[in-house]
Amino acid sequence: MGLRMNTVLLLAMLFSSVSAFVDELSDSFMEMKAADDIWLIKFYAPWCTLCKELDPIWHQIGSELKSVGSPVNVGKTDATINTGLAKEFRVRNYPAILMLKKDVKYNYSGPRTKKGILDFVDRVGGPVVRSLRSLQLFQHAMIQHDVLFVYVGATSQLKGNFTSAAEELIIHTYFFSAARDVLPKGVSLPFLPAVVVFKDGTFFTYSEERDGDLKLWINRERFPNFSKIDSYTLYAMGESGKLVVLALVEEENLHEQSLRYKRLVEKVAAGYRETYSRNFYFGFMEGNDYINGLVMGEVILPSLFVLNLSNDGFFLPPSTIETEQHLLDFLNGVLDGSSQCHGGNGIIQRVRRLFYNVKVTLTPVFSQAPLLGCFLVGVPLSFVATFCYLCCKARPTWINEDDDEGVALLAPSLQRRKKNTSKKSD
């Protein structure tokens, strides 16, 4: 009884609870938490608008998880005060969303929506590899997921490799295991154990000999043959080192040319899988906001692009793409190096990008709120800081752009983020 009281007191001291569903965590969190606790934590800074926008969502997530009796605790912490904790979690941008499970930290980098975050909580909070015990469960999983990684067979070294890949990649996708007789009869596997990915209406079996490292293979295969791509998807795709073939189209009322581009890219993705899937992802993106930032100009819709996300480079077709053969020639040109790579993240490009971003931020601010514009210009320090930040930062900033969900006075949220970061370095 006394022990229990002590725990309660300790907890009360540790968390000065803001809401019943979300605990405010302090620097002593790591010593105080129980070893098998699972936590979802938001790191914020008082001046960060994106963090504030996340507050109501955070509250809803906390309340929802509590109401379904989830083992996942929800917390938040002011990273500017609890710097020890922020350091422990290597937080560099705000808001940062992380999960802690069995002392392993998982970084969330998807869209900051309730659905996106709850999906992440479900994935990371549950078993790393989920067992599919019946055909019904398998079919249910097939309906739920576009891309399904399944280990088939008994315990083996391959299963060990699969599990350790899953531990790392669970932040991106789900992992399953099943006995052979659970799978539909039509799924013929030449050997067991096997790792199989079900996607695009078919399935592919992993072969160490042909496909190399399992983790890299999973990373390459975790997107469908042709899909809608947003900034988050693009970022995730970049992590695998593959290039992205992108049809850039209007957000609605697609032109005939846009439809043709989409069809062409899809056709090549599907028809030349063997040739290109190792090097390229294929998809389409709606609207040009995002790509304008990369290209630093106004991109005409529709367009075809190949992006190299490893270095912010992009390739443009040498002439209008009319036929499948034109697209194939373009892709081959990219691969054999005969097509020229534009952009990139060299120092000159970064300076150009800085000026471009400043221009894009300030133009709408001046037209909508001249006073605010003057204020922003009157804080040259932030530019200097932004400049240093851009030059020192290993990964390009445009990649961190956010959805336009929180439509704001201050044009693209990208700029808001950058300002936040520069203040951080003050």
Ligand X SMILES: *[C@@H]1O[C@H](CO)[C@@H](O)[C@H](O)[C@H]1NC(C)=O
Binding site residues, ligand X, CB under 6 A: 89-93, 96, 107, 109, 157-158, 161, 200-201, 208, 224-226, 243, 270, 308, 310-311, 313, 334, 341
Is beta strand 23-24 parallel, antiparallel or unpaired with respect to 194-199?
unpaired
Q: Which of residues 243 and 247 has its CB atom nearest to ligand X in the complex? A: 243
Helix 214-221 × helix 157-169 angle, to 10° = 50
Contacts of 13 (CB under 8 A, 6+ apart): none
How far is Cα of residue 228 from the mean position of the Cα atoms in its chain? 14
| DSSP 8-state class, residue 6 | H
- Cis peptide before 56, with omega less than 30 degrees from 0? no
Which residue among the candidates 51, 388, 391, 392 is catalytic per the annotation? 51
Closest distance to ligand X from the beta carbon of 20 (Å): 27
Helix 347-368 × helix 370-377 angle, to 10° = 150
Task: Please give the Cα distance from 176 to 196 (Å, whole number).
Answer: 10
Run of H or E residues at 307: strand 303-308
Instruction: Say whether 97 sits in a helix, a strand or coil.
Output: strand
Task: Please give the Cα distance from 21 to 229 (Å, whole number).
Answer: 34
Closest distance to ligand X from the beta carbon of 330 (Å): 12
Q: Find where tokens 């514009």 sit.
A: 373
Is residue 124 within 8 Å of 106, Cβ to Cβ?
yes
Which residue among the candidates 48, 374, 388, 392 is catalytic per the annotation? 48
Q: Which of residues 158 and 246 has its CB atom nearest to ligand X in the complex? A: 158
Task: Please give the Cα distance from 84 to 31 (Å, whole number).
Answer: 12
Quick check: is 51 catalytic?
A: yes
Closest distance to ligand X from the beta carbon of 31 (Å): 20
Closest distance to ligand X from the beta carbon of 202 (Å): 6
Quick check: is 48 catalytic?
A: yes
β-partners of residue 148 are 198
Task: Please give the Cα distance from 185 to 172 (Å, whole number).
Answer: 29
Closest distance to ligand X from the beta carbon of 200 (Å): 3
Q: Which of residues 285 and 365 has its CB atom nearest to ligand X in the complex? A: 285
Closest distance to ligand X from the beta carbon of 271 (Å): 7
Position 410, amino acid = L
Q: Which of residues 63 and 161 has its CB atom nearest to ligand X in the complex? A: 161
Contacts of 150 (CB under 8 A, 6+ apart): 132, 138, 176, 177, 178, 183, 195, 196, 197, 198
Closest CA to 302 of 342, 316, 331, 310: 316
Query: Which phi and psi (to 5°) does residue 106 adopt?
Result: -120, 125
Position 330, amino acid = F
The distance in angstroms from the start CA to the end CA of the chain is 49
Is residue 73 within 8 Å of 23, Cβ to Cβ?
yes
Q: Which of residues 21 and 417 has its CB atom nearest to ligand X in the complex? A: 417
Q: Which of residues 304 and 365 has its CB atom nearest to ligand X in the complex? A: 304
Closest distance to ligand X from the beta carbon of 98 (Å): 6
Q: Which of residues 158 and 187 has its CB atom nearest to ligand X in the complex? A: 158
Q: Which of residues 161 and 275 has its CB atom nearest to ligand X in the complex? A: 161
Closest distance to ligand X from the beta carbon of 279 (Å): 8
Position 262, amino acid = K
Run of H or E residues at 165: helix 157-169
Residues with a catalytic annotation lie at: 48, 51
